[in-house]
Amino acid sequence: MATMTSMPPSSPSSPLASQSLSAPTRQASNLPLRTIPGSHGWPLVGPISDRLDYFWFQGPDTFFRSRMEKYKSSVFRTNVPPSFPFFLGVNPRVIAVLDCNSFAHLFDMEVVEKRDVLVGDFMPSTAYTGNTRVCAYLDTIEPKHAQLKNFALDILKRGSRVWVDELQANLDKFFDTIESEISKDGNSSFISHLQTFLFYFLSKSLVGADPALDPGVADSGPLSINLWLGLQLLPTVPLLAFQPLVEIFLHSYTYPFVLISGGYRKLYSFIEHHGKEVVQHGEKEFGLSKSDTIHNLIFILGFNAYGGFSIFLPTLLGTIASDKNGLQARLRDEVRRVCGSSTGLRFDSVKDMELVNSVVYETLRLNPPVQLQYARARKDFQLTSHDSTFDIKKGELLCGYQPLAMRDGNVFEEPESFKPDRFVGKGKELLDYLFWSNGQQTGSPTESNKQCAAKDYVTLSASLIVAHMYRRYDSISGDASRITAIEKAK
């Protein structure tokens, strides 16, 4: 069981960052007991007013920040969408947890459960996942969670033989495309190229299947996954433009799976025929049925891996490509110093690139790709923030908005600033408080917790991408969606 619920309190003027840190451990709190501030409002009126604030008038950041200021508390009651009028079965009531201490309770499987709360009380129809509840929706006490989590951990281990090679081979194709677009058009909008790179690299590394061999997905695979993700998640995704049309037409209904069933069937057939070895491994070694194995592989490939990297990598590339403070020269120097005259990059070589790794961590801190995490109280327990203790009742839903927890001034110095060296040297102690993977960056994903199975693969792969980039280029310019110039390595 995870054993983290509370961290040592500290005052905003003396961030933990400047003290000697110890990993957070469960400890009895002597902080004052406070009634949870905030309210869920009048029935129907409260949820709809909070929904409009969240999706339209304020957006998630101001929504949570303004309430935190109003209640002078990083723990408070509120509603989150989707809700009234068409989501009658969905309970919008949550307790927001917005500092590192209170947020960490979301990982403590002794006091919380994670059954069907991946995106809150709302759960997309299981039609999107072959009428089965895939790993991410299972609680740790459900025996199938251990089976599927171990399968996920195992395919990563098996895939690690080809992971680094596939990553670099497909990355080179990605950069070739960008170079040719820049020389033709003067810039390259790279998102669709990035998604093609991800689909090919991840299919080969995780499922052992080559999309190029299957005309059903070779060109359309990324689009099918985008639609599949979009349709199931639309009721929860903030879209501040085109209001009130978005509220009326996009946020008020669930969308039937039939709209994407053709594309999903092709993904299923792709994995069934081209990923046979991995599928048989799931059946023989993990006791899974063939269809359970394939539906879980589609979810891991499409939702967890492709979805996660599709959000994270543009932010990482944009952060680096738009820097005006000499960061690129420092990254390039570190990469070339550590690599020396060696020809290839491996995970072991990037482990020694302190600045590269720190930039990856800092990007994940300021822009956690999965912004909201939920967990339901398994029993009555006391939750602590930095300054108070709160009584939580069994069944209440905790909602962590990670962009605010990761800007906790009690933990991170100058929390709003991008500090490339934050996690270098002694700064590595702050990895106890980096939560993008639904757990500490110093933790380990296991069958007993709900931490991302690929916690280390994600950060090492991101570092490897940065390192690969500076072996190929002296510098790149652009933002999170476009590369406007590149200078080849001299």
452 among the known binding-site residues? yes
Task: Give the nearer residue to ligand HEM in terms of CB position, either 142 or 272.
Answer: 142
Give CA–CA dist 343/340, Å, rounded: 9
Report if residue 135 touches ligand HEM, rule: CB under 6 A. Answer: yes
Give CA–CA dist 127/219, Å, rounded: 24
Residue nearest to ligand HEM (CB): 308
β-partners of residue 483 are 188, 478
Task: Give the nearer residue to ligand HEM in terms of CB position, either 149 or 482.
Answer: 149
Task: Give the nearer residue to ligand HEM in terms of CB position, either 7 or 119.
Answer: 119
Site for ligand HEM in 155-184 (CB under 6 A): 156
Report if residue 149 touches ligand HEM, rule: CB under 6 A. Answer: yes
C-beta of 184: minimal distance to ligand HEM in Å?
Answer: 30
Number of residues engaging ligand HEM in binding (CB under 6 A): 25
Residue 178 parent element (H or E) = helix 143-185
Q: Residue 76: helix, strand or coil by DSSP?
A: strand
Report if residue 312 touches ligand HEM, rule: CB under 6 A. Answer: yes
Report if residue 194 touches ligand HEM, rule: CB under 6 A. Answer: no
* Window contacting ligand HEM (CB under 6 A); options: 38-46, 68-76, 257-265, 300-308: 300-308
Give CA–CA dist 65/418, Å, rounded: 19
Report if residue 370 touches ligand HEM, rule: CB under 6 A. Answer: yes
Chosen residue from 136, 260, 317, 355 binding ligand HEM by CB under 6 A = 136
Q: Strand 397-401 relative to strand 93-97: parallel, antiparallel, unpaired?
A: parallel
Q: Where are the beta strands (DSSP E) in 161-275?
A: 188-189
Give CA–CA dist 199/219, Å, rounded: 10
Task: Give the nearer residue to ligand HEM in terms of CB position, either 128 or 436.
Answer: 436
Chosen residue from 6, 73, 304, 357 binding ligand HEM by CB under 6 A = 304
Q: Residue 223: helix, strand or coil by DSSP?
A: helix
Burial of 232 (0-12, 13-18, 19+ CB in 10 A): buried
Report if residue 328 touches ligand HEM, rule: CB under 6 A. Answer: no
Give CA–CA dist 287/280, Å, rounded: 10
Give CA–CA dist 373/362, Å, rounded: 19
Report if residue 454 touches ligand HEM, rule: CB under 6 A. Answer: yes
Task: Give the nearer residue to ligand HEM in terms of CB position, either 115 or 428.
Answer: 115
Task: Give the nearer residue to ligand HEM in terms of CB position, either 15 or 443.
Answer: 443
At how many degrees (to 10) do helices 143-185 and 191-202 cross? 140
Q: Strand 482-488 relative to strand 188-189: parallel, antiparallel, unpaired?
A: antiparallel
Chosen residue from 29, 437, 441, 475 binding ligand HEM by CB under 6 A = 437
Burial of 165 (0-12, 13-18, 19+ CB in 10 A): middle
Task: Give the nearer residue to ligand HEM in terms of CB position, either 149 or 332.
Answer: 149
Task: Give the nearer residue to ligand HEM in terms of CB position, either 373 or 475.
Answer: 373
Q: Residue 224: helix, strand or coil by DSSP?
A: helix
Report if residue 152 touches ligand HEM, rule: CB under 6 A. Answer: yes
C-beta of 39: minimal distance to ligand HEM in Å?
Answer: 26
Task: Give the nearer residue to ligand HEM in terms of CB position, either 137 or 264.
Answer: 137
Chosen residue from 97, 118, 360, 466 binding ligand HEM by CB under 6 A = 118
Report if residue 225 touches ligand HEM, rule: CB under 6 A. Answer: no
Report if residue 114 touches ligand HEM, rule: CB under 6 A. Answer: yes
CA–chain centroid gap for 459, Å, is 11
Chosen residue from 75, 288, 294, 452 binding ligand HEM by CB under 6 A = 452
Report if residue 458 touches ligand HEM, rule: CB under 6 A. Answer: yes
Contact 269, 221 (CB under 8 A): no
Q: Residue 88: helix, strand or coil by DSSP?
A: coil
β-partners of residue 11 are none
Report if residue 81 touches ligand HEM, rule: CB under 6 A. Answer: no
Report if residue 294 touches ligand HEM, rule: CB under 6 A. Answer: no
Tell me 19's DSSP state: S
Residue corresponding to tokens 């299923």: 268
Report if residue 438 touches ligand HEM, rule: CB under 6 A. Answer: yes
Q: How far is CA 316 from CA 41, 261, 363, 403, in A?
A: 39, 33, 6, 16
- Write out the residues near ligand HEM by the rule CB under 6 A: 114, 118, 135-136, 149, 152, 156, 300, 304-305, 308-309, 312, 369-370, 373, 436-438, 450, 452-454, 457-458
